[in-house]
Amino acid sequence: MKILLVLMLAIGGGLMATETMATGADTAEQACAPALDFEMRRLASDEAVRLCDEYQGKVVLMVNTASKCGFTGQYEGLEALYDKYGERGLVVLGFPSNDFANQEPGSEEKIQEFCRLTYSVEFPMFEKSHVKKGKASPLFQYLAEQTGVYPKWNFYKYLINREGQVVQVFSSMTNPKSGKMVKVIESLL
């Protein structure tokens, strides 16, 4: 009789634990930070990624990029940040845009090839996106609503902390290697 009672308690406890674990997983899915609650397609791919599933809990630097811009050399600094701080939780996400002076006119395949061959870019790159006020993609509209700043040119950088809050925006003029930017990133890691 004692064995039967112990067995019933064990099974009941196991069911309760399973129910709690399932509820916990549902809660984690619902807790996606709004800044990451977007589905984007990887550059030159059909693969769609929910940013929250990939980058929740990381420090995220989102950048609108272009291949034919005076600031294009910033790819080097962005890749250096990604390489240096990636293991500590920083991820750089690139979003090519042709919104400014036709400086990203190529196909996604050409953009990917340029980034890899010219700057050895390994950080995740996503589909060509509109970022300008009035025609911004939902992601960049959200970033602008949170900061009050739409990109005014290529290589605007939006920094998101581990809690998913947009904490700072850096203009094109701020080089990724600048002490100012590095200091803020290090404080979040």
Q: What is the CATH number of the domain that holds 113?
A: 3.40.30.10
CA distance linking residue 154 with residue 166, whole number of Å: 19
Backbone φ and ψ of 131, nearest 5°:
-130, -15
Reply yes or no on whether 69 is catalytic.
yes
- pTM of the prediction? 0.84
Calpha distance 132→99 (Å, rounded): 6
**Mean pLDDT in residue range 174-186:** 97
The torsion angles phi and psi of 40, rounded to 5 degrees, stand at -130, 150
Instruction: Give, rounded to a whole angstrom, the gap between the first and last alpha carbons of the chain.
Output: 56
pLDDT of residue 30: 58
Q: Are residues 54 and 130 in the same domain?
A: yes
pLDDT in tens, 19-45: 444 444 444 455 899 999 999 999 999
Do 85 and 7 share a structural domain?
no
**26 and 54 housed in the same domain:** no
**What's residue 120's pLDDT?**
96
DSSP-based three-state secondary structure for 119:
helix
Spatial separation of the C-alpha atoms in residues 66 and 53, rounded to whole Å: 26
pLDDT of residue 29: 53
Domain count, the chain: 2
Phi-psi region of 134 (alpha: psi -120 to 50; beta: other; left: phi over 0): left
Cα separation, 98 vs 38, in Å, equals: 20
Please indicate, yes or no, whether residues 72 and 100 belong to a single structural domain of this protein.
yes
| Shared-domain flag, residues 135 and 120 | yes
| Counts of helices then strands in the chain (DSSP H, E) | 6, 6
Whether residue 71 is found in the same domain as residue 13: no
Per residue in 44-66, pLDDT tens? 999 999 999 999 999 999 999 99
Do 60 and 88 fall within a single domain? yes
CA-based radius of gyration for the chain:
21
Q: What pLDDT digit, counting tens, does each position of 123-178 carry?
A: 999 999 999 999 999 999 999 999 999 999 999 999 999 999 999 999 999 999 99
Dihedral class, residue 76 (left if φ above 0, else alpha if ψ from -120 to 50, else beta)? alpha
Residue 120 token pair: 């050895």
pLDDT tens track for 72-123 = 999 999 999 999 999 999 999 999 999 999 999 999 999 999 999 999 999 9
Domain that holds residue 170: 34-188
Query: Are both 101 and 152 inside the same structural domain?
Result: yes
The answer on 60 and 5 residing in a single domain is no
User: Does residue 76 share a domain with residue 98?
Assistant: yes
Amino acid at 122: E
Same domain, 111 and 87: yes
Closest to 181 (Cα-Cα) out of 113, 72, 98, 80: 80
Distance from the Cα of residue 38 to its chain's centroid: 10
Tell me, what's the pLDDT at 167?
97
79 forms bridges with which residues in the sheet? none
Res 108: pLDDT: 97
In a shared domain, residues 53 and 132: yes
Residues 52, 32: Cα–Cα separation, whole Å: 6
